Amino acid sequence: MNLRRRLLWALGLGWGATPALFAQHVPQEELLQPYVGINSAQKGRVKLDIARLADNGFNVPLKVSVASPMTEQDHVRRLLLLSNRNPRPLMAAFDFGPSSDQVLISTRVRLGGSQTVYALAQTSDGLWWLDTAEVEVTESACLDQT
Amino acid sequence: MMHSRLQIIPAKLPSQLTTVRLLIRHPMETGFRFDVNGSAVTKNVIHTLTALFDGKQVFKATLGSGISADPFLEFQVRTPQSGELLLQWQDDAGETGEAKALISLPG
């Protein structure tokens, strides 16, 4: 194999490996599996408030609330913010206890392109609750080199 | 010492919530960026943030590179009585920061 052919071959290999390197939309089951395990998350209780159109992916404000009485018996244990396109899907995790009151969080996240943002909450009975929001991002936060 | 701004909106009644707003000056470096020389910029994000009220943990946040530079965080705490709220955080470079404020409830 001459050098030129070898280079072309390497280029082809690089092209083939591209989808794995470049950020792709992760399917919901695959995205949630590391957190919920064999359980499944159901829609409800969580409310994710985020603008449908984000001009700047570097700085997307969002608000999450979880309906819960926040008592010793019934409270929110964990709240996760997930992205199905960022190179690191877990954007933030928040831990609560019965001493926390109403779960209402606002923060600002980076989004590497148009995608679905997931807010996943676990209540003290072990159930997972979910809310999703589609976001169009005009200018992506280049979290990787895409 | 990292620059930060902490705003507390105390509850007006004992049954209500206290809102805590925190803004920290931090680049939240993702580790995916390259500088002008082409060398990778090491990842440096604030990874943990805890809120203690009178020495007891009331809130904990684990942050990642998906959080914007100069992270902003707003959350609620229940404070049955007046006391001191202490927020502490740590980044990947080992640098720590803290902010504290007195929550004074009426009555």
Per-residue model confidence as pLDDT tens digits over B29-63: 988 888 889 888 999 999 999 999 888 888 899 99
Is B35 among the domain residues? no
Is A29 among the domain residues? yes
pLDDT in tens, A59-113: 999 999 998 887 778 889 899 999 998 889 999 999 987 666 678 999 999 998 8
Is A10 among the domain residues? no
Is A132 among the domain residues? yes
Is A17 among the domain residues? no
- Whichever domain contains A39, its CATH number is 2.60.40.2470
Q: Which of A46, A49, A68 is nearest to A108 (CA)?
A: A49
B71 touches chain A (CB under 8 A): yes
The pLDDT assigned to B70 comes to 93
- The alpha-helical segments, DSSP class H, found in chain A are 3-21, 28-36
pLDDT value at A14 more than 50: yes
Task: Check CB contact under 8 Å for A88 and B56.
Answer: no
Indicate whether this model's pTM tops 0.80. Answer: yes
Is B75 among the domain residues? yes
Is B38 among the domain residues? no
pLDDT band with cut points at 50, 70 and 90 for residue B106 = confident
- Of all residues in chain B, the one with the smallest CA distance to A96 is B59
Is B36 among the domain residues? no
% of residues, chain A, pLDDT over 90: 38
Place of tokens 């070898």: A6
Is A96 among the domain residues? yes
Rg (CA), chain A: 19
Is A115 among the domain residues? yes
Integer angstrom CA distances of residue B40 from A58, A97, A142, B33, B44 = 19, 39, 14, 6, 12
Is A16 among the domain residues? no
What domain range is B56 assigned to? 4-30+43-103
Number of domain units in chain B: 1
- ipTM of the prediction greater than 0.95, yes or no: no
Cβ-proximal residues to A63 (8 Å cutoff; 6+ apart), any chain:
A48, A49, A50, A104, A105, A106
pLDDT in tens, B54-93: 888 888 999 999 999 999 999 988 877 889 999 999 999 9
* Burial class (CB within 10 angstroms; exposed 0-12, middle 13-18, buried 19+) of B61: buried
Is B88 among the domain residues? yes
- Whichever domain contains B55, its CATH number is 2.60.40.10
Is B37 among the domain residues? no
Number of domain units in chain A: 1
The pLDDT assigned to B45 comes to 92
> What is the CB neighbour count within 10 angstroms for residue A110?
26
CB B76 within 8 A of CB A100: yes
The pLDDT assigned to A24 comes to 72
Nearest to B63 among A58, A92, A144 (CB): A92
User: Looking at beta carbons, which residues of chain B come within 8 Å of A92?
Assistant: 61-64, 66-67
- Of all residues in chain A, the one with the smallest CA distance to B78 is A101
Q: Which of A52, A74, A88 is nearest to A129 (CA)?
A: A74
What domain range is A97 assigned to? 25-139
> What is the CB neighbour count within 10 angstroms for residue A97?
16
